[in-house]
Amino acid sequence: MHNGSLSNPNGIRRMLAPHGIRFDTDNDTEAATRFLEWRLREGDTLEQALQAGFDVLDGFYTFLMGTPTELALIRDPFACKPAVVAETDDYVAIASEFRSLAHLPGVRHATVFEPAPEEMYVWKA
């Protein structure tokens, strides 16, 4: 999931093309996800791929990415795009605004927070 706008999707495409990465669209979300996919394919963990993204992805964004065993959330250094997390022993829920989470079971007892800029949050299955 991507909420935001990257200023350098064409540069990312040019960087990935020599590695055989192909694109189906011209949108910035695909450029970011193909970058992260490439890093994972090259052997990075999800956390390493996302950490590398802080150096490559230029713009305003919140990214939520998952693998079969992990869920990770990052925001750009300025945290311009909204995000809120509700975490309980039973679930982690992430949305752009709290009202999307307000009716979840047990949300009154959840740890609710706004993710910090340029921090990585990882939940393991």
CATH, domain range 2-124: 3.60.20.10
- Sequence-distant (≥ 6) Cβ neighbours of residue 41 within 8 angstroms: none
Task: Please give the Cα distance from 104 to 107 (Å, whole number).
Answer: 5
pTM for the complete prediction?
Answer: 0.89
| Per-residue model confidence (pLDDT) at position 125 | 85
At 68 the pLDDT is 92
Question: How far lies 36's CA from each of 14, 24, 45, 51, 82, in Å?
Answer: 15, 16, 10, 10, 21
Look at residue 10 in the predicted model and tell me its pLDDT.
97
Q: What is the pLDDT along the chain (125 residues), one digit of tens a residue?
A: 899 999 999 999 999 999 999 999 999 999 999 999 999 999 999 999 999 999 999 999 999 998 899 999 999 999 989 999 999 999 999 999 999 999 999 999 999 999 999 999 999 98
